Chains A and B, each alone.
Chain A
Amino acid sequence: MLKVSNVTKQFSSGDTKVVAVKDVSFEVGDGRFVSIVGKSGSGKSTLLALLGALDRPTSGKIEVGGDDITKYRDHALTNYRGSAIGFIFQSYNLIPNLTALENVMMPMEFAGVGAAQRRKRAEELLTQVGLDATKQARKPGRLSGGEQQRVAIARSLANRPKLILADEPTGNLDTQTGKMIVELLHKLARSEKTTIIAVTHDLEIAGQTDQTFVLRDGVLSAAK
């Protein structure tokens, strides 16, 4: 369960202060697929960074499974990110000189999982997202955009996270592939009982999720 209470993020640049996220509060239950929609500059990515413990809020609390992650120190935050959160990025952000399999194995290596065990888990995940052994052995440069995003999804699931944060997961994909990726995320949310929060500006994709929030000038409101 994700609980966000009165979270505000303010940036300072000289004398200018910009409030990117303003007093945001919401709750998401386990296994739910939630979308946050908003225009460019509305604070979507900032909110996602706060939820993913990539940045600290100026004020407010973020609780994941009852733990207030805003109180964690850097080292603990890194461990938390590695074990409890999965990230999916718009431009996939796979390591270019590693194979698909090695990319998926990497978060497990950082979490201290043994070599044989992480290989087995990575193969299972890649098969689950529809990539066969041949494609698993390929480097990202030799995979299509949709295939790369599947690898990114498999990587995000590697350590069985409680929460997956997706930043424009279909932004670089054609409509058909985007739809397939959203269906895949839906399926995984149910099968792995993982909460998924996707940031998107595509209302059609938002319509496919369990719940949608709208972010406008840093202020969050429920859409449906």
Chain B
Amino acid sequence: MGVISRGVRNTFRNGIRTFSIVIILGLSIGLAITMLIARQAVQAKIDSVKSSIGNTISVSPAGARGFQGGGTPLTADEIAKVSATAHVVSVTTTLQDRLTSSNTNLVSSIDPGTIGRRFGGGGAGGPGGNAAAEANFTLPVTVTGTNDPSSVSTLGGGPGGGGGGGTVKITSGQSFDGKSDTNVALVGQDLATKNNLKVGSTFTAYGTAIQVVGIFDAGNTFSNSGLLMPIAAVQRLSQQPGVISSATVQVDSITNLEGTTTAIKNTLGTTVADVVSQQDTSAQALAPLDNIKSISLYSLIGAVGAGAAIILLTMLMIVRERRREIGVMKAIGAQNLKITAQFMVEAVTFTLMGAGIGFVIGVIAGNPVTKLLVANSAQAATAASTNGRGFGRAFRAAGTSITNIQTTVGWEILLWGLLAAIVIAVVGSAIPAWLISKVRPAEVMRAE
């Protein structure tokens, strides 16, 4: 029989006390594990949301949004400065232009409708409008010049812009070299159907024959009615040499997104460019989750502290109760270290039994408690942004999305829980261990 077996056996000397202590410890450790599970689930959700947002920054002329607003186009020099900014991996530049019946034989595949007539210049209902113009009005075809046709956002017109955005998936043919200056185009599948275009067909734009090298699907009607060309070709044909209407900056890591956004803003200046990262939006949307992370961290620390306090008081009581026994052990040759180790084994046994119950409580309560915390926070966040516009919409959308949270209990949780239990046992045993070292065997003799 050694120190460990004596310590373990001592745990069961008083059945009722052991039961009570283990249950209370179990609740404390259960709360700690529940908070650990909640924190991990929330962190996973935050990471997921952040990764879905992507690590890109949009740069557009100050005051411009697609074909609306004003401002001065970006220049190659300014884009070179952006490219030279730390953590920038790549810069996709675009120039958007409109092809109308005066400079192309293409017909838009989008019906103008009321919105198109209002914004597109076909406002026949207004003063000066006439019925013929209204009947013949067609929407212009948007041509996007890009140096990277594979980029997912090349069809976008920047935040809030007129571009529809979307992932370009080539359905037939092939892509073009974005750095070339050739008269080739990728045509949206709706525009191709409307104009009976196939790979190898040609159409006219800016008085020049353009060859169709591929057909793409961007997943939305607006983008599928547009076409992509090398930016140098669009600059040349539209007689806008060196002009860039927007740029999408890829950053090496999402953690550097905020710093890089600030650096680009400082480099270009707010009067030259609007620099927007989608993380600005996500930060607001994720604020409720960050709050839950804080709450769960404080609760976790509180629960571990409560557990340590329970063990501390229990061990103080036990040491006080067994002063004579400690004295006897010292009298028959036990060193302080051995006696302390025996009592620490007892504390660890209490804590591990509590941890066992705590794990069960944590596994059962982890998911519902996390969902409850998230639901309450999201509700508060949504209510707070009811009157919001722009970012508020994203905020509400994210608020709904973040409630879809699922907890998982893996080995990591079990190991952290075990570590918490050991911390509880060690912290809770520290003062009793010191008291044990102070027990003098002679005092026990006098008490005889």
Contact = CB atoms under 8 A, between A and B. Distances in A.
Contact of B334 (A45, A49, A78): A78
Nearest to B445: A49
A89 interface: yes
B448 A90 contact: yes
A205 interface: no
Q: Looking at chain B's contact residues, is the secondary structure mostly helix, strand, loop, or mixed?
A: helix
A110 B10 contact: no
A95 B7 CA distance: 12
B6 A98 contact: yes
A117 B303 CA distance: 46
A38 interface: no
A91 interface: yes
Interface residues of A, number: 33
B332 interface: yes
Contacts of B324: 93
A165 to B, nearest CB: 9
B445 A98 contact: no
Interface in B123-141: none
B338 A49 contact: no
A78 B329 CA distance: 10
Interface string A56-85: 000000000000000000010011011100
Interface string B305-333: 00000000000000000001100111111
A107 B448 contact: no
A105 B10 CA distance: 17
A83 B446 CA distance: 22
Contacts of A159: 333
A117 B111 CA distance: 99
Interface in B1-49: 1-2, 6, 9-10, 13
A111 B448 contact: no
Contacts of B208: none
Contacts of A155: 332
A54 interface: yes
A55 to B, nearest CB: 4
B448 A109 contact: no
B1 A107 contact: no
Contacts of A46: 446
A106 B1 CA distance: 8
A98 B1 contact: yes
B335 interface: yes
Interface residues of B, number: 24
B442 A78 contact: no
Given A97-B9, A102-B1, A89 B448 contact: yes
B372 to A, nearest CB: 44
Contact of B333 (A79, A97, A98): A79
Nearest to B333: A82
Contacts of A147: none
A125 interface: no
B285 to A, nearest CB: 59
Given A89-B448, A97-B10, A167-B448, A107 B333 contact: yes
B265 interface: no
Contacts of A107: 332-333
A80 B343 CA distance: 23
Given A54-B441, A97-B9, A49 B446 contact: yes
A82 B335 CA distance: 9
Nearest to A82: B333
Contacts of A49: 441-442, 445-446
B15 to A, nearest CB: 12
Nearest to B335: A78
B1 A87 contact: no
Interface of A: 45-46, 48-49, 52, 54-55, 75, 78-79, 81-83, 87, 89-91, 93, 95-98, 102, 105-107, 109-111, 155, 159, 167-168
8 contacts: A87-B328, A89-B328, A91-B448, A98-B6, A102-B1, A107-B332, A110-B334, A155-B332
Interface of B: 1-2, 6, 9-10, 13, 324-325, 328-335, 338, 440-442, 444-446, 448
Closest 3 CB pairs of A and B: A82-B333, A55-B442, A110-B333
